Homo-oligomer: A and B are copies of this chain.
Amino acid sequence: MSAVVVRAMFRSHPDKPPHSEIMSRCIDACFDCVETCTACADACLSERDVGDLVACIRLNLDCAAVCGATGSIMSRSNKAGHPQLLEAHLANCIAFCRACADECDAHGDLHQHCAICAKTCRACAKACNAMLEAMRLPA
């Protein structure tokens, strides 16, 4: 989804969540990652060397699971008193995205879907990091 629509959603949210610009981009990056990792796992399953891609498939599925949770948790992030939960989850999500990107990059020259997936995972890690930094700034 264009982050524009997510941003419009948050502009009409009664709580006007802080960092809504950065948050919209982060939520969007998370669901992009769900989409790409799910598609990459399936493309790997169809490769002739699927036996060599098992670690990649597992990380793809893990990364999709974590990023889906991150996207939905962040959409509910106006939880007075629990910013530390979102911060810990974001740090965790970044670790999965980076591990998946590293794994995909390791054979990105053989499988273009892995190269694309690595790029999307890194973009998600970056967006999560920007959100983390925004949360840690003094209001």
Interface of A (DSSP majority class) = helix
Q: Are A39 and B116 in contact (CB under 8 A)?
A: no
Using A38-B72, A59-B82 as known contacts, list a sample of 16 further A-B pairs with CB atoms less than 8 Å apart, ordered by residue number in A.
Answer: A1-B32, A5-B36, A6-B36, A8-B116, A9-B113, A12-B112, A14-B46, A15-B46, A38-B76, A46-B54, A46-B78, A55-B80, A58-B79, A61-B76, A62-B85, A66-B73
A40 CB within 8 Å of chain B: yes
State how many copies of this chain the complex holds: 4
Task: Classify chain A: how many residues form its interface, as a range.
Answer: 35 or more
Residues of A in contact with B (beta carbons under 8 Å apart):
1-2, 5-6, 8-15, 27-28, 31-32, 34-36, 38-40, 42-43, 45-48, 50-51, 54-55, 57-59, 61-62, 64-66, 68-69, 71-73, 75-76, 78-80, 82, 84-85, 88-89, 91-92, 95-96, 99, 111-113, 116-117, 120
